[in-house]
Structure 1
Amino acid sequence: MFKKKKMQHGRKLVIFTNRKSIVAEQIRTVRANIKFAMKDKQYKTLLFTSTSIGEGKSTLASNIAISFAQDGQKVLLVDADLRKPTMHYTFNKPVSPGLTNLLMSNWSLSDILKDSGVIGLDLITCGPIPSNPAELLGSLTMKKFLKETISLYDLIIFDAPPLLSVADAQILADVCDGTVLVTSSGITEKKNLYKVKEVLEASNAHVLGIILNRFKLEKNHYYYEYYGEKE
């Protein structure tokens, strides 16, 4: 749950603002499915990505991170989209210092951690946007960062760029325990899903599942629009 100090946010953290809604319940269902997929293995790092921009991966990653924290786990949410970061908007935090400060300038982990306002959830925003994101994410310093955070948290969630835009998410998928792919009803093209499948197979990613976002529920005339803002 949230701390007493009211948190201001710029995006839809519905798991907090409307916990009894159908959308919040769907988030908890996703959490349960992830936990079920992780049941026989120790998963510490999860990657959230999409096929292209605007499919809702960032807000989904944020809400699911909050949901795991509400479930009693110690969670770290990392904005690993070093080209178009959004987490600082979501939680109304400064973008710097962040991950790139650690990767480029040897800042310590304690220097870049941010209080999310949610009990059990810490944040690492992007930091200054670098000229070489893929190289930084594949660096030895990044591997050291993973090793350090894995020892401190129950779960680390990375919000990565779309898979078909740049190589960043593919690099992270290779080192994360599990990958969750976010697609959007009416936006994601079938041909792109086939391309993503090839990319994930090439990176030896362990795909835990695919989330279909913005799906229209005809039966009761509900519109499940989880995320109406573009990333």
Structure 2
Amino acid sequence: MQYDFITIEGNIGAGKTTLATALSKAYNARLVLEAFADNPFLPKFYENPQQFAFPLELFFMAERYKQLQELLAQKNMFQQLTISDYLFTKSLLFARVTLSDDEYKLYQRLFEIIQQQLIQPQVLIYLHAPIRKLQENIKKRQRSYEQKIPDEYLQRIQETYLPYIKQLPLPILFVDATHADFITTDRHLNIIMNALDQTYPPGLHPVSLEP
């Protein structure tokens, strides 16, 4: 494995945690998963987005920072490879969708101060799936507070992510996850692993997972 730090990103329900977990087992890698269930504002946000968006995003940013800061502090003690199911920048991308303009400006200032202190991945795996597939996955995992997420919200997140990742200065494996299945078959996981064996320049590199 040529990388020390791999990050997986994508919209809600894209399969980030599933893929990160599968890859960590395959490579015997250290796994860093977002502790979304610990955010006390998440159920409240889905019920009342305007009231709870700002504390929701602040809590997420603080928790992501804590996790990744610990990762940086222990970098000489890692297993050879670390795999994360989130990019710290997602804090800013989600905030752009959920916050008012004034709240976002404040949030952005805090984000820019914090981001400079964090380790960055060497390669990003981006899972892209249509909204209908995201909704199918969301329903399957049966988190009660997610079941009413509107298509419009997922679409706004999708439209925020895509322009951002295109300008990142690192290799990005852009995976069409429309038919992704990392649980019941090894075939799709092997495609991702084969792609990680290759060397890429910065930019988007399409990876197709056939049905």
Place the TM-score, normalised by the shorter chain, in its bin: 0.3 to 0.5
* TM-score, structure 2 as length reference: 0.45
Select the structure that is richer in helix: 2
- TM-score norm. by structure 1 comes to 0.41
